[in-house]
Chain A
Amino acid sequence: MSATAETGVLAQRPVLRITPPASWWKIPFGELWEYRELLYFFVWREIKIRYKQTAIGAAWAVLQPLLTMVVFTLFFGKLAHIPSEGLPYPIFYYSALLPWMYFAASLQNATNTIVENQRLITKVYFPRLALPLSSVLSGLVDFGVSFLMFVVMMIYFHVRPTTAMLWLPAFIFLALLTALGLGLWLSALNAIYRDVRYVVPFLIQFWMFASPVAYPSSLVPERWRWLYGLNPMAGVIEGFRWSLAGHGQPPGGLILVSSGVVLLVLLSGVAYFQSMETTIADVV
């Protein structure tokens, strides 16, 4: 849009009306689309600076799940003999750590994003939703890198891919929405109560044990399984194991409950975030 094109078309120009906060539950899809380039730059920036001045760079994206997998295999697998339902332990753990690590990092980043970009928020306008959104999107790159490692492991352990793998994007999308929904809540809360950033590491730790990362969900008694589905990551992780390692049944019921919960968290998260957006520059 150039200046010359703008002059003389006053009447056609949309009027932007700035008023006291009123409606807050609307998701500004149109505006986000308008600011898509900025969203792209936020994602690009996060990726660019994440491994700046590190010796091994993006290898960290592989090392973190890989080392965790080794520890889990040793202690939970070889020592505690937790059942892996016929899968090699490395495959069993790594397929769960893939979505889990993505989720944990995304949630952590999304929580801090508003506070970290405080200067930006108080100096420029853009849809604030772009910040947590870029946090969860930029995590996908790390996910991709660590996924390549999984492909190597699949070849090594002779795990044959099945058509169930086509479901993988759906599960990663569910993990993304979970991280986003909760991230919206926590980032807005963190802007007001800085306690949140101390709570989140604990939350993530507890949550991991409440999710079938270190054990199969079949350990959970059948009649409590639906309750277990209230944890969206349970559905996601089971989905990953099923689609990647071809293990067990498709987690249909679990996913259904999980999706419902995610939708609820996401919608309420957007609503809360939007209600905060109008005052966030004043309190952050």
Chain B
Amino acid sequence: MSEAIIHVEGLGKRYRIGERERYHALRDVLMRAITAPFRSGRKSRSEDDLWALRDVSFEMRQGEVVGLIGRNGAGKTTLLKILSRITRPTAGFAEIRGRVGSLLEVGTGFHPELTGRENVYLSGAILGMRNSEISRKFDEIVSFAAVERFIDTPLKHYSTGMQMRLAFAVAAHLEPGILLVDEVLAVGDLEFQKKCLGKMQDVSRSGRTIVFVSHQMNQIRRLCERVLWIDGGQLRQDGRTAEILAGYEAASAGPLESGGRPDVPSAKARFETWEILEPRAERPNVLDTFGPLVVRFTVRVRQPLRNVHHGIHLYNAERQMLWGMGFDGLQLAPGVQQFVYELPALPLRPGAYSWRASLRDDHELIEDWDCLPELVVTTMPLTHRMDEWAGILNIPCNFSVAQREMDECATTPDKAT
């Protein structure tokens, strides 16, 4: 099916800075009109313009699941808002074939005074479901949200979690041909997120076209085969998920300050920089291979240290310690010292990690550094595409199935990945 289901060409959206103010008072407008003649030489207001989106073009085919990534304020939501007709573009156009459902927020149209049941119908209607459709799916929605007992209680008596679950349950049962989703899977506890993600996968497998915004790269990896990277209102890259995400994660790691940390002259010793010596990636804090690596920490030592304990720890983004090691009885002479670690591999899933390096002299703490920049791993993930929740390690492995001979009941090994 070659015809595009979404065709976007030269799309742009300009905001006057003034237009985004939330509150306009007539007084301000009058004041501006009165003072206008006295404000000389400010004819062009173009400096007040902000292009939230500029010259974006792409096409999507039926059944594609496309992730939209980019920093906050890059224009992702603006793009979704234009596609879902909430706001109009300033330039260019978009052509869409089919019914569009948009999910820019969880719980759109929920009213605290109404009961859960009433809210399901109301929110469903607002999201574009037919009354009969909601009735048909009502039981499914309620059991998905697990709020059966409270369905005739006003929503204001629900806990936040229950409200979120009910809201997502309604949204998850939308069945438009095109679904636009903005960062809504980040609600609820881990268990519920998992359920939501599973539901999204079902939706994507049923041949619907989905545009999906998320800041959680593991969700993008799991759901999307294609990614659009929006940067500063413009389409920076468009391509296969793994490739684009690698570049995006490297870029969002931020530039490495070559000067290292600010110096503290009174300290006996101080870490200055860290970097990956081998293998060299684009940036010295990015790891993109499975194999051996060499990491170097630089320490400036001011006074001779005779009985040093040096510790190193590796944390993930959730501040979970992944690995630690300590070395005692080091002697360090004044000058710049280099600590070099050779590791056979860091089999980590893509994402941001951080080192923590410490120095003690005779048990006196001299230095405890949360190393900046973060370690960014962009190695291709090896786990099954749909198995994002399988752990934190990224280990190459071979798997085979063999039947043992002379066995009464043949057992197949577990389908471990």
Q: Taking beta carbons and an 8 Å cutoff, which residues of A are in contact with B?
A: 1-3, 6-7, 10-11, 13-21, 37-38, 40-41, 44-45, 48-49, 52-53, 119-126, 192-195, 278-279, 281-283
Is the pair A45, B122 in contact by a Cβ cutoff of 8 Å? yes
Question: Do A45 and B111 touch across chains, with their CB atoms under 8 A apart?
Answer: yes
B62's contact among A10, A16, A122, by CB below 8 Å, is which?
A: A10
Contacts of B83 in A (CB 8 A): 18
- Does A11 lie within 8 Å of B177, measured CB to CB? no
In the assembled complex, which residues on chain B have CB atoms less than 8 Å from the CB atom of A14? 97
Would you call B370 an interface residue if the criterion is a C-beta within 8 Å of the partner chain's C-beta atoms?
Answer: no
B62 in contact with A15 (CB, 8 Å): no
Q: In the complex, are the beta carbons of B26 and A18 less than 8 A apart?
A: no
**A94–B98 alpha-carbon span in the complex (Å):** 52
Counting chain A CB atoms within 10 Å of each CB, the highest count among B29, B84, B126 belongs to B126
Please state if A281 and B24 are interface contacts (CB–CB under 8 Å).
no
For this complex, 26 residue pairs linking A to B, each with C-beta atoms less than 8 Å apart, are A1-B175, A3-B206, A3-B208, A6-B177, A13-B98, A15-B97, A16-B95, A16-B97, A17-B93, A17-B95, A18-B85, A18-B88, A18-B89, A20-B91, A21-B88, A37-B131, A45-B111, A45-B114, A48-B114, A49-B113, A119-B108, A120-B108, A123-B102, A194-B25, A195-B26, A278-B88
Instruction: Identify the 7 closest CB pairs spanning chains A and B, nearest first.
Output: A125-B85, A41-B125, A18-B94, A195-B26, A52-B113, A13-B97, A19-B93
In the complex, the answer to whether A120 meets B85 with C-beta atoms within 8 Å is no
A15/B95 contact (C-beta < 8 A), A124-B109, A281-B87 known:
yes
Q: Out of B62, B85, B104, name the residue touching A7 (CB < 8 Å).
A: B62
Chain A residues near B206 (CB, 8 Å)?
3
Interfacial chain B residues near A123, Cβ < 8 Å? 86, 102, 104-105, 108
State in angstroms the CA–CA spacing of A126 and B109 once bound together.
12
* CB atoms of A20 and B108 under 8 A apart: no
In the complex, A17 Cα to B11 Cα: how many Å?
12
Cα–Cα distance between A195 and B97 once the two chains are bound (Å): 41
- Interface, chain B (partner A; CB < 8 A): 1, 3, 5, 15, 19-20, 23-27, 29, 62, 81-100, 102, 104-105, 108-109, 111, 113-114, 118, 121-122, 125-128, 130-131, 175, 177, 206-208
Cβ–Cβ contact A41 & B29, under 8 A:
no
New contact pairs (13) apart from A3-B207, A18-B88, A45-B111, CB-CB < 8 Å: A3-B175, A3-B208, A13-B98, A18-B83, A18-B85, A18-B94, A37-B130, A119-B105, A121-B86, A123-B105, A278-B88, A279-B19, A281-B87
Asked if B126 and A38 sit within 8 Å, CB to CB, the answer is: yes
Minimal beta-carbon separation of B253 from chain A (angstroms): 32
- Which of A11, A38, A282 is the one whose CB lies under 8 Å from B3? A11
- Write the nearest CB–CB distance from A199 to chain B, whole angstroms: 9
Nearest A residue to B206, CB-CB: A3
**With A49-B113, A123-B105, A283-B24: A10-B5 Cβ-Cβ less than 8 Å:** yes
Looking at the assembled complex, report how far the CB atom of B146 sits from the nearest CB atom of chain A, in whole angstroms. Answer: 25
| Closest Cβ neighbor of A199 among chain B residues | B26
